Structure 1
Amino acid sequence: MPSATSQFKQLTLALGCAGLFALPLSGQAEEIAPTTLRLAHVVNTEDTYHIAAERFQQRVSEQTDGAVTIEIFPNATLGDERTLLEGMQIGTVDMGVITNGPVANFVDEFSVFELPFLFPSSEAAYDVLDGEIGQEILGKLQDVNLKGLAYAERGFRNITNSQNAVHEPADLDGLTLRVIENEVYVDTFRELGANAVPMAWTEALTALQQGTIDGQENPVNAIHAFNLAETQDYLTMTRHIYAPAIFIMSLPAWNSLQEELQDIVLDAAQDAAAYAREQNAEMEAVQLADLREAGMEINDSPDIEAFQNAVTPVYEKYGEQFGDYLPRIQEALNP
């Protein structure tokens, strides 16, 4: 038997056709058309990126009553992060959770977040990213046919290697370390004395297993998720760079969405980003304990001041490259 709502719709349609009255269109919610969006990332299903992607998937499904399906492609199934971004630009990939470093190769201003020892804490980073400065930079993605949705989190990055304990920059001399394909990362680690080799993460995993590189730098969540204790004996908690991860969408894909669905996608991305930050904070202590149990030697108290002093030339080189963003961030951090 038709529902009361269905009967009312049939009645009003008939009356409208008869010219007796018409329903006002303003204020009515547009029905969400069945839609499938493909979301890709390059890490495994144990990583925070995947946790954020699943939260996004869940929220979108709830808010659209299942009309919108989010298909998640982990483990670089659709390519490395540069490939994913290029795919989003031309519309062959709908969206992804992407590390900030590769994004900076498309919009220079994102590199300002990569400056070493810029943020003293996660909370300080959140204030800048979620505030006027961060949102202004996020908006610049539209200039390269991308749509920035929200800042999730890769986290504070730390150094691992297979050769020796690292307490100060001198201990990096002679070590070959993989870094993100971003010039600020390369220059930072060359100033610290390491042989910095930029490469995609998928390539880095193979290089670590084969011993063609000595180490890498990443947040604890990635070190744990990829079982790096199997190839890396030493972890140094330098917390040298705070790295956001970004929910990014293809601008063509974004523009094809109904306005109501755009609002839902944006809200779900922001919710998933906040959830990822919470998960990182809650999981780090457990992950460090697991790494210790797996045999990794962890240095909790390296000479941070020595590392900070060593990267001064990086600020001298890049300080003015980002317009007024660096001084604005520094002022926001030290009002």
Structure 2
Amino acid sequence: MVSTLLGITGCASAAPPLELSGYTDESGAITVLHKGDSADPYFAMQALMLAHENGMDVSAPAEKFANWLVPRQKPDGTFDRFCRGADTRWVSCKTADADDSLLALWMKLLETMPAQLAKNPVWAKSYQISKASLEHLYQPSRGIYMVSPVVLHGLFMDNLEVWSRMVHLKQPQQRAESDKLARAIHDTFWDPVNKRFLVSTQLEQRAHKPTFYPDHVAQIFPLMFDFPLLPANARPYYRNWMVAHRAEWLTQGDADYPWGLLAVLALRQNDKVSAGCWLRQATPLRHSARWAVSDEASYQILQSRGVVAVDRETNCK
């Protein structure tokens, strides 16, 4: 992601602000859904980073969210998901889906606020604990990261998210580590026989029929981070994916979330038609139970860049 997650970071003073009314409260928590009662730090940070790396100003909600989340970090460095009770207080109610990607996102978010990180000892301590916790998930035999201390397999998309943070670090040793991880990700997950990326190190996945998520999404996920080790150049690789899967992507909101971050990727690939198709298809879902905070961030990114929904006559198949 030049590389930022899907985008171009603009000057914060001139950037349009990410507006999260209905997705955040006075405490700084960010909910998955509009006026929802569940807060998953992964979705919150995905939305904040997506907006930040595509030219929006997220400074206010990001700092408030960080101050809300940091005291809720567990002693081992990991985070839970949270639910709001009848008394409106946020309580831990579920473990995270994956510790590796969440820890990387948390450090990446803190790195977007270097002044606060430098002067805030609570943030600095959390950053170091998170770094140590993530390193405990490293699997030397493969050179990748495991999901959690109890889930001992590796996931392709999680490792891409870990790499996406490392690739921006400036020290030569850090760059060497990111290059090493990129090669390990490719060597572990690329299936040369079927010419696709595997989603997991679990052997049983090979017998499963591919589905939109995780299988088809996994094939395009590297483009979201400018991952360099693709089987083809990025442009034709993207086009081939859209030819094969655009129609299926645009119907995901019928039963699931509409995957707005793929519309931001389309914009980055100068495919405004696909981005406009997404707006036409998904906008009626806005603020509904099928619209996550990451979809809201995606919608606002497209709006800020002047993308409009295509007309009814445009073929989006």
Q: Bin the TM-score by the shorter chain.
A: under 0.3
Comparing both chains, which one has the higher relative contact order based on Cα–Cα distances under 8 Å and sequence gaps of 6 or more? 1
Q: Normalising by structure 1, what TM-score?
A: 0.23
Larger radius of gyration: 1
TM score, norm. by length of structure 2: 0.24
* Higher strand residue share: 1
